[in-house]
Structure 1
Amino acid sequence: MMNLKNHLLFVVSTSCLFFSCKGNGDKKEMHALKSKSLAGTYKLIDSKTIKGKDTVTAFTDSSKTEMFKMFNDDHFSFFNHDKEKGKGKEPLFVAGGGTYSFDGVKYQESLQYCSIRDWERNTFNFQLKIKGDTLIQTGVENLPELGVHHTIVETYLKVR
């Protein structure tokens, strides 16, 4: 009878140990899949800004400007510049970065650094869709103190 109790105790203990390890592994694996699916460099191929009934489309002419967005496990950065090296009619350079969280759909940026300094220390909530090499970011940028309240829809293509 004692052997049966010891055997049952061993089976129960081993099962608990197995399931507790498996749970942690699943969480790490799930985080790795989310990070891995987002990690990389993406080039902006289309951008829409919607304010009220007006929609402004940008980046349809990539001969003048280009923008890249990069992700690692928990940080993002972006760089946007004109291709005339600031010497054309409309010189442009905007860069920023910070931390992010992503649960597979909901994406939140905490912008720590930005060349447009008034945007720093703000958090933005978006939805991300990843379809193959395409990433689509949609959400509201709301900074009432700057008079900013619009919806953005940005489409990126992963750089290989």
Structure 2
Amino acid sequence: MNYKQLPVIITAIAALCGCQSKELSSPIVGTWELVSATTTEKDTSFSTFDPTHKMIKIINADHFSFLNHKLRPGKDSASNEFTGGGGKYTLADSVYTEHLDYFTDKQWEGNTFKFVVNIANDTLTQKGVEKLEKLGIDRVIVEKYKRVKD
């Protein structure tokens, strides 16, 4: 073995391990299933959780995605409701910021949404404001997710 190459090899291995450990060490990384959702608009709060649908959020080291579909399919594809979206995110302390690059409704794309997140055991709670002036949307949402286990 050429010992002159050893520092380069060690640096490369350390860099690879650092990338993997970043993803594994962040408690937000994983697959999460929505278990409750509440929206508040103009001092009125109401549940937006629909038990006839299933929604998961998948978060890796720098991207998120969410998929939502009707549990019991309808007779035709038009009645099989599905929404999905995703993009990049940042996490600084408890401030989780989604940059929505993709969404079923194109009018939402290109927007940024800030949430405060809390993870306790296998529950992720996120609370934040969804504000889109062009669509007349200005609301606070609170979503709770349970970690999906293998």
Same topology, TM > 0.5:
yes
Q: Give me the whole-angstrom Cα distance separating, in 1, the residues matched to 2:67 and 2:44.
A: 26
TM-score by length of structure 2 reads 0.79
Q: Is the 8 A contact 1:69 1:77 kept in 2?
A: yes
Amino acid at match of 1:53: D
- Does residue 96 (structure 1) correspond to residue 85 (structure 2)? The answer is yes
1:141-156 superposed matches below 5 A: 141-156=130-145
Q: Give me the whole-angstrom Cα distance separating, in 2, the residues matched to 1:136 and 1:159.
A: 14
- Does residue 43 (structure 1) correspond to residue 33 (structure 2)? The answer is yes
Q: Give me the whole-angstrom Cα distance separating, in 1, the residues matched to 2:44 and 2:80.
A: 25
Q: Is the 8 A contact 2:23 2:29 kept in 1?
A: no
2:63 alignment partner in structure 1: 75
Counting matched residue pairs gives 131
How far has the Cα of 1:87 moved from its partner? Answer: 4.1
TM-score by length of structure 1 reads 0.74
How far has the Cα of 1:35 moved from its partner? Answer: 5.5
Unaligned 5+ runs, structure 1: 1-24
Counting helix residues as a fraction of each chain, which structure ranks higher? 1
How far has the Cα of 1:97 moved from its partner? Answer: 0.3
Q: 1:87 to 1:129 in 2, by over 3 A?
A: farther
What is the CA deviation profile of residues 96-147 of structure 1, one whole-angstrom value per residue up to 9, with x for unaligned ones?
0000000230010000000011000101111000001100000000000001
Q: Give me the whole-angstrom Cα distance separating, in 2, the residues matched to 1:134 and 1:157.
A: 5
- Does residue 57 (structure 1) correspond to residue 42 (structure 2)? The answer is no
In the alignment, which of 104, 107, 115 is matched to residue 104 of structure 2?
Answer: 115
Q: Give me the whole-angstrom Cα distance separating, in 1, the residues matched to 2:131 and 2:25.
A: 26
Q: Is the 8 A contact 2:23 2:60 kept in 1?
A: no
Q: State the percentage of identical aligned residues.
A: 38
Q: 1:56 to 1:73 in 2, by over 3 A?
A: same
Give the stretch that moved more between structures: 31-40 or 71-80. Answer: 31-40
Unaligned 5+ runs, structure 2: 1-14
In the alignment, which of 111, 114, 130 is matched to residue 125 of structure 1?
Answer: 114
Q: 1:130 to 1:98 in 2, by over 3 A?
A: same
